[in-house]
Structure 1
Amino acid sequence: MLEKEIFTINSSEDFNRLALKVFHFQYENVSVYRNFCDYLKTDISKVKNIEDIPFLPIQFFKNQKIIAKNLTEQIIFTSSGTTASISSTHFVASIKVYEKSFYKAFKNYYGNPEEYTILALLPSYLEREGSSLIYMVEHLIKKSNNPNSGFYLYETEKLIEKLIFLEKNNQKTILIGVSYALLDLIEKRKFQLKNTIVMETGGMKGRRKEMIKQELHEILKKGFGVSKIHSEYGMTELLSQAYSMGDGIFTCPPWMKILTRDPEDALSYNYGKTGGINVIDLANLYSCAFIATQDLGKTHKNNTFEIMGRFDSSDIRGCNLMVL
């Protein structure tokens, strides 16, 4: 029943009501989360608003199996990471929920995948197994039902030729790429794209020096000849994505919400100021929907937000983790 309700949210009231239902479900069924709440001495009867819900630190995904009781994972997603860091592991009990989440979100923002040629420049993700981003993009490419859609690893010249071909044929295109690979591409060729959406994700992955997102977007806009750079914000530990249509301002699908916590007090919230990002992802029904990330950001009106960077003590990894 909860699975169906998640994707029919139409208002903030719907979201808040359902978030509380998911909280109670996970407290009863996800032992890691229940133990965490009990450690905080959470009085369940006093959890009346989403701000009352405890947010599980994302580091728990590095060393705990977080999954509802009596369920078995259908797929396991793992994070990228440096050789010195421990990867996060997300045990996904229902791959159908993930597929519904990313497909419905994509349609909300961009329409049907069939309207586009989808090109993916995601080398650091293709080089390993267990990437939730690759799983999503692979399925969107299949949904596009377009012979020109596909992945590019280090086939830079072929990708350049494909982009030129698609532009000449006025084909609506989405190029989604990890940031450093997009920079590599425009160093080899400058474009004037009129029919292509350029979407960055994934940061530099240790391949290039990190930079402020605004600086990155200015370089990409000039290199691709576009007025806006789109972005995708997601991570291994989530089953939903937020998107930015430009200017680094993200919006969430109806079943996802961002709160910012006070950097000095993890149990207090702020608004319009830089704080630690807490994510409510109701698609994470069978693991944990309430996650305190290591990202820093600001929330704005109309449920929009921006990513400012990361806490200094955390490792650099994940999607769209730009450092100030």
Structure 2
Amino acid sequence: MIDKNAIFKIQTQAEFEALALEVFRFQFKNNRVYRSFCDLLYKHPTDIKTVIDIPFLPIQFFKTRDILSTKNEVKTTFTSSGTTGSETSKHHVTDLDIYEQSFNKGFEYFYGAIEDYVVLGLLPSYLERKGSSLIYMVDAMISKSKHHESGFYLDNISELKDTLIKLDSEGKKILLIGVSFALLDLVEMHQFNLKNTIIMETGGMKGRRKELIREELHKQLKTGFGVNNIHSEYGMTELLSQGYSQGNGTFKCPNWMRILTRDTEDALTINTNGKAGGINVIDLANINSCSFIATQDLGRVDSDGSFEVIGRFDNSDIRGCNLMVL
């Protein structure tokens, strides 16, 4: 059994690689679906010498199979929003403490203690359904915040406008995390000049507005909120960790998460030259499901491990967080 706390103590690349290989061996042995997938590729632990040798499970399996590497009781199941008539992804979570450690430590790594922020959640499309991992995360952040003004907003946009102006003018540190269409609704209602607020979009128009490329979305939001940068979160139902962008669309990961890209013509070949390709995610917080996932996103990874999302594969359903098509 792998010590879950070791995941969040990773400091070096060597430590990440060693634990990733250990997690692969654990999941090969204990995850029936992943084992079958590896068997189909004739990949055995004896064949896996480095991280780039590890097979990445196509994310679509979360729609059709129970992806579990443990027999422990499922505490909750996160589900994707999906599109009308499409099958949703299901991420069974047996240990919510891992998820909470992941998002708390991940946020703190990039932004500092969540307790210091007033957390304002503008996530109407997520609040209107059950099973959202994003709502779980933001709700926990609101609870952890030491400011009584923290909370969710659904249709009460006018109240949010007044709260935001008041708190920002008082010099309080604010995190406004919102779905793209709702943030646009807010700046169409009122033009701001914020000095102490982080605006973090989680992507997605949810059918409420025309999809925009990231540059256009961020331009409108920067003008509307009067800020220099729009922050972004890269997460999805199938992951228990998040990447963050503090501007310009370049994301960084916490130490227990890494992004690779695969060749668009050969899904089993990992790019090593900065070439754009399909995004593969290693999320060691997914120890009880699958830590090695081939997503439907297209992206590019820089030499320092940061990455950008540049679109999605054709014919893939558009959903989830921060998936904007070029």
TM-score (norm 1): 0.98
Q: 1:320 aligns to what?
A: 322
Mapped contact 2:116–2:146 kept (Cα < 8 A) = no
Q: What SS does structure 1 have at the residue aligned with 2:319?
A: coil
**What is the alpha-carbon distance in structure 2 between the residues aligned to residue 226 and residue 69 of structure 1?**
45
State the Cα distance separating 1:206 from its structure 2 match: 1.6
Identity of aligned residues (%): 60
Mapped contact 2:117–2:146 kept (Cα < 8 A) = no
State the Cα distance separating 1:68 from its structure 2 match: 1.8
State the Cα distance separating 1:208 from its structure 2 match: 1.2
**What is the alpha-carbon distance in structure 1 between the residues aligned to residue 224 and residue 274 of structure 2?**
32
Q: 1:265 aligns to what?
A: 266
Q: 2:243 aligns to what?
A: 242
State the Cα distance separating 1:70 from its structure 2 match: 2.1
Q: 2:305 aligns to what?
A: 303
**What is the alpha-carbon distance in structure 1 between the residues aligned to residue 95 and residue 70 of structure 2?**
13
State the Cα distance separating 1:135 from its structure 2 match: 0.3
| Deviation digits for residues 38-93 of structure 1 (CA, Å, limit 9, x no counterpart) | 01111320101011000000000001011124222111100001112110000001
**What is the alpha-carbon distance in structure 2 between the residues aligned to residue 202 and residue 306 of structure 1?**
14
Greater alpha carbon shift after TM alignment, 224-233 vs 62-71: 62-71
**What is the alpha-carbon distance in structure 1 between the residues aligned to residue 203 and residue 214 of structure 2?**
12
TM-score (norm 2): 0.98
Mapped contact 1:258–1:279 kept (Cα < 8 A) = yes
State the Cα distance separating 1:301 from its structure 2 match: 2.1
Instruction: State the superposition RMSD in angstroms.
Output: 0.9
Q: 1:290 aligns to what?
A: 292
- Match of 1:279, as an amino acid? V
After superposition, residues 52-201 of structure 1 pair within 5 angstroms as: 52-201=53-202
- Match of 2:278, as an amino acid? G
State the Cα distance separating 1:212 from its structure 2 match: 1.2
- Match of 2:89, as an amino acid? S
Q: What SS does structure 1 have at the residue aligned with 2:311?
A: strand
Mapped contact 1:31–1:69 kept (Cα < 8 A) = no
Q: What SS does structure 1 have at the residue aligned with 2:259?
A: strand
Tell me the matched-pair count: 324
After superposition, residues 23-34 of structure 1 pair within 5 angstroms as: 23-34=24-35
Greater alpha carbon shift after TM alignment, 197-206 vs 288-297: 197-206
Structure 1 residue runs without a partner (length 5+): none
**What is the alpha-carbon distance in structure 2 between the residues aligned to residue 142 and residue 113 of structure 1?**
10
Q: What SS does structure 1 have at the residue aligned with 2:261?
A: strand
Q: 1:277 aligns to what?
A: 279
**What is the alpha-carbon distance in structure 2 between the residues aligned to residue 253 and residue 37 of structure 1?**
27
State the Cα distance separating 1:2 from its structure 2 match: 2.8
State the Cα distance separating 1:222 from its structure 2 match: 0.4
Q: What SS does structure 1 have at the residue aligned with 2:286?
A: coil
Q: 2:18 aligns to what?
A: 17
**What is the alpha-carbon distance in structure 1 between the residues aligned to residue 94 and residue 34 of structure 2?**
16
Q: What SS does structure 1 have at the residue aligned with 2:62?
A: helix
Q: 2:203 aligns to what?
A: 202
Mapped contact 1:221–1:229 kept (Cα < 8 A) = yes
After superposition, residues 211-222 of structure 1 pair within 5 angstroms as: 211-222=212-223
**What is the alpha-carbon distance in structure 2 between the residues aligned to residue 76 and residue 175 of structure 1?**
26
State the Cα distance separating 1:213 from its structure 2 match: 0.5
Cα–Cα, structure 1 residues 168 and 83, in superposed 2: closer, same or farther, change >3 Å?
same
Q: What SS does structure 2 have at the residue aligned with 1:303?
A: coil
After superposition, residues 220-239 of structure 1 pair within 5 angstroms as: 220-239=221-240
Mapped contact 2:27–2:290 kept (Cα < 8 A) = yes
- Match of 2:147, as an amino acid? N
Q: What SS does structure 2 have at the residue aligned with 1:257?
A: strand
**What is the alpha-carbon distance in structure 2 between the residues aligned to residue 122 and residue 93 of structure 1?**
25
Mapped contact 1:194–1:226 kept (Cα < 8 A) = yes
**What is the alpha-carbon distance in structure 1 between the residues aligned to residue 182 and residue 120 of structure 2?**
13
**What is the alpha-carbon distance in structure 1 between the residues aligned to residue 270 and residue 116 of structure 2?**
41
Q: What SS does structure 1 have at the residue aligned with 2:285?
A: coil
